[in-house]
Amino acid sequence: MPRRRNLAIAAIAAAVVAAGWAVLPIANAETEGDTVRMVQPESTAETAAAPEVLAGPAGSPVAVNGQLRVCDVNLCNEAGEPIQLRGMSSHGIQFFPDCLNPDSLAALRNDWLADFVRISMYVQEGGFETDPAGFTSKVNEAVETATTLGLYAIIDFHILTPGDPNFNLERAKTFFADVAAAHADKPNVIYEIANEPNGVSWDDIKSYAEQVIPVVRAADPDGVVLVGTRGFSSLGLTDGSDESEIINDPVDADNIMYTFHFYAASHGADRRAVVDRAAASLPLFVSEFGTQTFTGDGPNDLASATEWLDLLKSHKIGYAMWSFSDGRESNSAFQQGTCQGTEYAGTDVLTESGNFIRDRIRSGSTSQ
Ligand code: IDC
């Protein structure tokens, strides 16, 4: 194991001990057909012998909920109960390479009481296309850190410009074959195959999804897949359509959810009404939202954001706020410079949007 990784794991173990949890590893996994199941070791000897930490510490979201599965319109835990996952999206990992680290993710888990991190890997704008092996390995490293903490990890193939996911079809196949193989035995990885399709028809998105999902499933048969929707993952609303185009012609795959994104200062009651309606028919996941306008900057509209999160709670729709970063834009949850340090817990390091979402996640946490 590389020295850097050892250090990272030592840092996490220290954070876990500080939080009063059992020393790692405390859970193991066994394979039954295609299903990886969590089992609690029966003896200390077995605990000490456990080769890998797949479920994270006792009481962590993954130790509690195990392998997830889409059940009707909800996301269910391994016991078949609908759950709402609450988490944070990274900013582009090429823009903020320092913000996903063992300390920041330990704070996300132990202090924010979040369930997951979304790892946003841009494809363009200096992302994956410039260094496929390097970005794949950065994503894998973040997934390993999340796994050790017992956080779920969403691997986000962050297409944005151009908006037609088919432009990146071959890159997507290569990337998802690699990451799904690397994490096939973990219960905590969710695959998001296209961040925000735009300027492209639902037919073309569906065709892309039906080519990429089999690549994921070939390596990781039980991994939940998130599919982006038309018009910047607006269920088509930005293009004057709505959820009916998906209901009438769904992606031909099971165990998938459709993503819906909103920015609270731009999107209000009319879009909430559509989500309220669509949630009865489609499994939805809000893999990204912001408290400001869709530019990701400007004043936060926390009243609108609160209405949105209340709606998502009522339907148990999971969400991630953009973004777990320390930039200048109002979407950054951390004050500028935070990611150069090791302190991420508490409110001193947070911005207005950061304080808002930490409070919200903490108050809704059920996984501790
Ligand atoms: C924004 C970033 C900004 C960056 C821009 C283009 O905040 O720093 O310059 O992307 O890369 C989305 C996208 C997300 C956007 C975000 C805010 O998924 O990449 O981030 N947003 O504009 N959809 C709606 C809003």
Beta strand 35-39 pairing with 28-32: antiparallel
Atom 24, ligand 1: residue with shortest CA distance: 294
- For residue 339, report the distance from its CA to the centre of ligand 1, in Å: 19
Kindly name the residue from 141, 144, 192, 288 that is annotated as catalytic.
288
Q: Which residues of the chain have pLDDT under 70?
A: 1-53, 365-368
- For residue 331, report the distance from its CA to the centre of ligand 1, in Å: 9
Read off the pLDDT of residues 209-242 as tens digits, 9 standing for 90 and up: 999 999 999 999 999 999 999 999 999 999 999 9
Q: State the CB neighbour count (10 A cutoff) for residue 202.
A: 20
- For residue 303, report the distance from its CA to the centre of ligand 1, in Å: 22
Active site residue 352: no
Give the three-state DSSP class for 310.
helix
**CA angle (152 as vertex; 285, 263 as ends), nearest 5:** 35
- For residue 82, report the distance from its CA to the centre of ligand 1, in Å: 30
CATH class as words, domain 3-363:
alpha beta
pLDDT, residue 53, reads 56
- For residue 359, report the distance from its CA to the centre of ligand 1, in Å: 23
Kindly name the residue from 196, 307, 329, 352 that is annotated as catalytic.
196
The answer, yes or no, to whether the previous bond of 25 is cis (omega within 30 of 0) is: yes
DSSP code of residue 101: S
Q: Are 316 and 279 in contact (CB under 8 A)?
A: no
Atom 19, ligand 1: residue with shortest CA distance: 160
Q: Are 309 and 353 in contact (CB under 8 A)?
A: no
Atom 15, ligand 1: residue with shortest CA distance: 296
Residue type, 264: A
**Cα first-last separation, the chain:** 31
Atom of ligand 1 nearest to the CA of 331: 7
The ligand 1 site (C-beta within 6 Å) comprises 125, 160, 195-196, 232, 261, 263, 288, 294-296, 322, 329, 331
Angle of the 102-110 helix axis to the 132-149 helix axis, nearest 10: 40
Active site residue 32: no
Could you tell me which residues are beta bridge partners of residue 289? Answer: 262, 321
Q: Ligand 1 pocket test: pick from 125, 195, 226, 288 the residue with the most ligand atoms within 8 Å of its Cβ.
A: 288
- For residue 296, report the distance from its CA to the centre of ligand 1, in Å: 6
Atom 16, ligand 1: residue with shortest CA distance: 296
pLDDT, residue 54, reads 73
pLDDT, residue 216, reads 98
Q: Ligand 1 pocket test: pick from 267, 322, 330 the residue with the most ligand atoms within 8 Å of its Cβ.
A: 322
Cα distance between residue 53 and residue 61, in whole Å = 14
Cα distance between residue 145 and residue 15, in whole Å = 12
Q: Ligand 1 pocket test: pick from 160, 266, 319 the residue with the most ligand atoms within 8 Å of its Cβ.
A: 160
Q: Are 355 and 122 in contact (CB under 8 A)?
A: no
pLDDT, residue 120, reads 99
Q: Is 42 exposed, middle or buried (0-12, 13-18, 19+ CB in 10 A)?
A: exposed
